[in-house]
Structure 1
Amino acid sequence: MGIFDKIREKLSNEFIDIIEWLDYTPDTICYRFERYQNEIKNNAKLIVREGQTAVFINEGKMADVFAPGTYTLSTQNLPILATLQGWKYGFNSPFKAEVYFVNTHLFTDEKWGTKNPITLNDDRFGLIELRAFGTYAYRIKDAGKFIVDIVGTDNNFTNFEINEHLKSLIATRFTDTVGEAKLPIELYAANTNELSETCMQVMQPDFLSVGISLEKFFIENVSMPEDLKKEIFEYSRIEKVDLDKLTKFKTAKAIEAAAANEGGTAGAGMGMGMGFAMAQQMGTMMNPQTGQQQTAQAHTMPPPVPQTVQYFYAANGQQAGPVSFGELQTLFAGRTVNKDTLVWKAGLAEWVPLQQVDELKPFLGGSTPPPLPQ
């Protein structure tokens, strides 16, 4: 082979070029293939691997887009670029164009959250505040649109650069969706799957408008203030509980608590009265119709039998009783109590001497009874 043949072969080899993208990190979305003055040799080989899309840009305008595969660059597979540069009979080497490789694999486990609480107006609880966070996944669906609208002239566009924009978009659309849903407040945390699907449908058009496809969207948690959460739990229990069983349970607890207090039988009587009063009040509030029926029955039924008055008395500095009127009279006759003994009954504000209670004054009888025989 002569010297001119070697020179011709060497020059021919220089005209053959390989365009490919190998070195990239998982966070790289778009990479501009660097060439000296953006020159590409005639019949250069373009290699686009799986998970990539190659986009040719001519003077700021999108030209040809290549899916995964191997291509020999000519006017046949660069029709748009050939039209833009006016190549009627083929092009001479070299030609100028910018080549961008776009990573089209799925970007997963991206975090999102509401920076500020979302204020909602609930019919039962008034103004409330919610916070939410979760994850989402996306991929580049339209590489050309993504480069024109988002990347621009950036030669190494990463996930970090687009993530803040996407998180702001998600937070805005999530707030709008939650506000328009008007769900009962207790259902937000219990229906995260349904709410996630609805939010994804609402957000998808905004993502597609810049060439991105929202593949997955998850709401991991919807939180609210602790005091509101407790109030909601109590409200839900009242709605679902058997009111008859609840009143019986509350009454039993009240009697048990009263019996444990000082005063023995007196405490139990007072606790029982409070328990029945509370049960009747709750039943009337939760079922007004039942309360009306009870009122009607009160006018047709005879009044209850009068209760026997019970008395308590002080003996050796200790509370004793309760005893009936007759029992207290027997105690007076046996000198266990006397006219100065402190007594108390329902209706008295404080303990008083026996001689100051009107219905007990007949005990005095005008004379002191004789002492018992020895």
Structure 2
Amino acid sequence: MSLRDFLSKQFIDVIEWVEPEDGILAYRYPMQDREIQNGGKLTVRDSQMAVFVNEGRVADVFGPGLYTLNTRTLPILTYLMNWDKAFQSPFKSDVYFFSTRLQTNQRWGTPNPITIRDKEFGAVRVRAFGIYTWHIADPKVFYTKVSGTRDVYTVPDLEGQLRNTIIGRMTDTFANSQVPFLDMAANQVALADKIAGQLKQGFADLGVALDGFVVENLSLPDELQKVLDQRISMNMVGDMGRYTQFEVAQSIPIAAANEGAGTASIGAGLGAGVAMGQAMMDALKGAGTSGGASAAPSASAAAETKFCLNCGKSIPKVSKFCPECGHAQQ
């Protein structure tokens, strides 16, 4: 190999980068001790941007296209290097490529429940998770504040920062929101739009743009979800009388499935349930009347009767046997 051939290999005629894999955000073109040839070619593909850095200062930024490197295509670099004339010799500069394509299906979620004050439930803890999409919008800001002089900067390097920013904004949104939890859970699209609006500026400060934000699920911890389920059941049932009927109806299949239980025990269970329901109804009616005189007849009537332990029928309190089924009473 001649000296001329050796020297020719120290000059870079073509600068380009093809992403070898997903997840690379910034890539430093390997310069080593080589210099960029005057009139060399720079290829920036779609979904890429290139940044020239001279002596630690960002000089020129290139979008997608094919460029011939000279003083016309490198005006800022020419100014920084104080070239009075069009340069004719190779020059040295660091070149960084940035991937500007969408980073899709990025996951976010609350590692711990967020405590909020709800109008209906009081203080509750809420969990949420979903996906978001973003891309590098300003490579100059991204280089200055995020990636720096690293040879390679990847999505996982930034993922933690973005996810924690999302969780922080969500906490603020929930704390300042006067919307009940049930309404938030039923309007996840509107909730996502509100959170995204608060996130965009924080992302822009890092040189990236938030393109999409989705709330996939909003839920309570298991113990609170059980309480909510019970409340929904009560609202569906309505008043206490219907609730008692509902409970008795629920117990019938269970009693029928219990082959070891006799007719007496089944009847006793149903009778006790009906008696409890009747007593609760009487208590509620007595509490709803104005004055003790109107409540006295109900208490007196309840004291004169009882329920058969076998069939559950109402019978006189002094009866030793049920007139309906003949079962002995205690």
Same fold (TM > 0.5): yes
CA distance in 2, matches of 1:169, 1:12: 49
CA distance in 1, matches of 2:181, 2:44: 50
Q: Which amino acid aligns with 2:319?
A: F
Q: Which amino acid aligns with 1:208?
A: A
Q: Say yes or no: does 1:152 pair with 2:153.
A: no
Tell me the CA shift for residue 198 of structure 1: 1.3
CA distance in 1, matches of 2:129, 2:152: 29
Tell me the CA shift for residue 12 of structure 1: 8.9
Q: Which amino acid aligns with 1:18?
A: V
> 1:301-340 to 2 correspondence within 5 Å?
309-313=316-320, 320-322=321-323
Instruction: Tell whether the 8 Å contact from 1:30 to 1:101 is kept in structure 2 after alignment.
Output: yes
Instruction: Tell whether the 8 Å contact from 2:38 to 2:69 is kept in structure 1 after alignment.
Output: yes
Q: Deviations over 1:299-352 (max 9, x none)?
A: 6xx999977845333xxxxxx3349xxxxxxxxxxxxxxxxxxx97xxxxxx6x
Q: Which residue of 2 aligns with 1:243?
A: 238
CA distance in 1, matches of 2:74, 2:57: 14
Q: Select the structure of larger CA radius of gyration.
A: 1
CA distance in 2, matches of 1:60, 1:256: 76
TM-score normalised over the length of structure 2:
0.77
Structure 1 stretches of 5 or more lacking a match?
1-6, 286-290, 314-319, 324-342, 345-350, 352-374
Q: Which residue of 2 aligns with 1:137?
A: 133
Tell me the CA shift for residue 63 of structure 1: 1.1
Q: Deviations over 1:61-84 (max 9, x none)?
A: 111111111010111111111111
What secondary structure does 2:197 align onto?
Answer: helix
Alignment coverage as a number of residue pairs: 305
Q: Which of the pair has the greater relative contact order for Cα pairs under 8 Å at 6+ separation? A: 2
Aligned CA distance change for structure 1 residues 268 and 84 (closer, same or farther; 3 Å): closer
Q: Which residue of 2 aligns with 1:99?
A: 95
Aligned CA distance change for structure 1 residues 264 and 142 (closer, same or farther; 3 Å): closer
CA distance in 1, matches of 2:202, 2:282: 57
Structure 2 stretches of 5 or more lacking a match?
256-261, 306-315
What secondary structure does 1:137 align onto?
Answer: strand
Instruction: Tell whether the 8 Å contact from 2:41 to 2:66 is kept in structure 1 after alignment.
Output: yes
CA distance in 1, matches of 2:246, 2:172: 48
TM-score normalised over the length of structure 1:
0.69
What secondary structure does 2:319 align onto?
Answer: strand
Q: Say yes or no: does 1:122 pair with 2:86.
A: no
| Percentage identity across paired residues of the two chains | 36
CA distance in 2, matches of 1:100, 1:23: 13
Tell me the CA shift for residue 237 of structure 1: 4.2
Aligned CA distance change for structure 1 residues 281 and 84 (closer, same or farther; 3 Å): farther
Aligned CA distance change for structure 1 residues 16 and 99 (closer, same or farther; 3 Å): closer
CA distance in 2, matches of 1:86, 1:149: 27
Q: Which residue of 1 aligns with 2:211?
A: 215
Which of the numbers 6, 21, 24 marks the counterpart of 2:20?
24
Q: Which amino acid aligns with 2:70?
A: S
Q: Say yes or no: does 1:274 pair with 2:276.
A: yes
What secondary structure does 2:244 align onto?
Answer: helix
Aligned CA distance change for structure 1 residues 281 and 46 (closer, same or farther; 3 Å): farther
Which of the numbers 83, 89, 95 marks the counterpart of 2:85?
89
CA distance in 2, matches of 1:71, 1:149: 27
Which of the numbers 29, 35, 42 marks the counterpart of 2:31?
35
